[in-house]
Amino acid sequence: MLLLALDTATDGVAVAVHDGDRVLASARAGTARSHNEVLVPTVAQVLRAAGRERRDVTDVAVGVGPGPFTGLRVGIATARTLALAWGARVHGVCSLDALAAQAVSQGWTGEFLVATDARRREVHTARYAVRDGVLARTAGPDVVRPADVVGGGGADVPVVGSGTRLYPDLLGGEQGPFEVDGGALAQLVVDALAGRAGLELLPPEPLYLRRPDATAPGARKRVTA
């Protein structure tokens, strides 16, 4: 196996290469406005750092959100195109699941919430629990106002993610991880494919929790005299 993992659901892009045993190379690059410009060059950079060629890639994993519309479209379209060109399998991952797995790798146990920036003064959230060493999502993902995170059952558990940077007073103070790490995403997928993860992989389709601002025009109104 050689897995290429990428995520564009948060600011910038995260990319990693995993050989089934360990992360060979990973990188973060860009900003919220530069996904399209930096993603493919970062993929090439990480493959070079891992000492592998694109023809070696057997699987491609992509974070499917929730996240900004444009960022998700860039990441998912790129992942699907690369997988098709290289004859690789493609897997979707909830980006909040990747952050939760990253939190567990940093020592988080028990129950906790992940909250990320959803714009419009809202956050994307999901609740997780580690039971017998296995991480599982127990609620969400949802998009809510920061003040409603506590009302929704988050008061009794810690909150991690970029949302805590934006709303520290409402979410209990700044607590990382804040951005998706490509290596954590890759490890989650490797574990899921091996049957070692409590989190399910998803189709490579964007996980939108809101309707898009732009909509198709409706039927024209009939004009009467």
Question: What integer pLDDT is reported at residue 193 of this predicted model?
Answer: 94
Q: Are residues 12 and 90 in the same domain?
A: yes
Whole-angstrom distance, CA of residue 133 vs CA of residue 118 = 30
Q: Are residues 75 and 185 in the same domain?
A: yes
Question: What integer pLDDT is reported at residue 61 of this predicted model?
Answer: 97
Between β-strands 134-144 and 13-18, what pairing exists: parallel, antiparallel or unpaired? unpaired
pLDDT-derived band at 198, boundaries 50, 70, 90: confident
What's 105's domain CATH number? Answer: 3.30.420.40
Question: What integer pLDDT is reported at residue 150 of this predicted model?
Answer: 64
pLDDT-derived band at 31, boundaries 50, 70, 90: low
Q: Are residues 147 and 68 in the same domain?
A: no
Q: Is residue 221 part of a domain?
A: no
Q: Is residue 49 part of a domain?
A: yes
More confident residue, 83 or 11: 83
Q: Are residues 87 and 118 in the same domain?
A: no
* Buried/exposed 18-40: b ≥16 CB within 10 Å, e otherwise: bbeeebbbbbbbbeeeebbebbb
Question: What integer pLDDT is reported at residue 211 of this predicted model?
Answer: 55
Give this prediction's pTM.
0.88
Question: What integer pLDDT is reported at residue 223 of this predicted model?
Answer: 59
Give pLDDT tens digits for 92-133. Answer: 999 999 999 999 999 888 999 999 999 889 999 999 999 888
Q: Which two tokens stand for residue 102?
A: 């990253």
Whole-angstrom distance, CA of residue 109 vs CA of residue 16 = 25
Q: Are residues 54 and 87 in the same domain?
A: yes
Whole-angstrom distance, CA of residue 14 vs CA of residue 7 = 5
Among left, alpha and beta (phi > 0; psi -120 to 50; other), residue 96 is alpha
Q: Are residues 141 and 100 in the same domain?
A: yes
Q: Is residue 201 part of a domain?
A: no
End-to-end CA distance of the chain: 70
Closest CA to 8 of 66, 83, 82: 66
Residue 62 has pLDDT above 60, yes or no: yes
Q: Is residue 214 part of a domain?
A: no
How many domains does one find in the chain? 2
Q: Are residues 31 and 107 in the same domain?
A: no
Q: Are residues 116 and 68 in the same domain?
A: no
Whole-angstrom distance, CA of residue 162 vs CA of residue 177 = 8
Counted residue by residue, the chain has a size of 225
Q: Which alpha helices (DSSP H) does 14-68 contain, by range? A: 35-50
Residue 24 has pLDDT above 70, yes or no: yes
Identify the domain containing residue 64 by its residue range: 3-94+180-193
CB 56 within 8 A of CB 86: no
Q: Are residues 8 and 71 in the same domain?
A: yes
Residue 217 has pLDDT above 90, yes or no: no
Average pLDDT taken over every residue of the chain: 88
Q: Is residue 223 part of a domain?
A: no
Q: Is residue 213 part of a domain?
A: no
CB 204 within 8 A of CB 92: yes
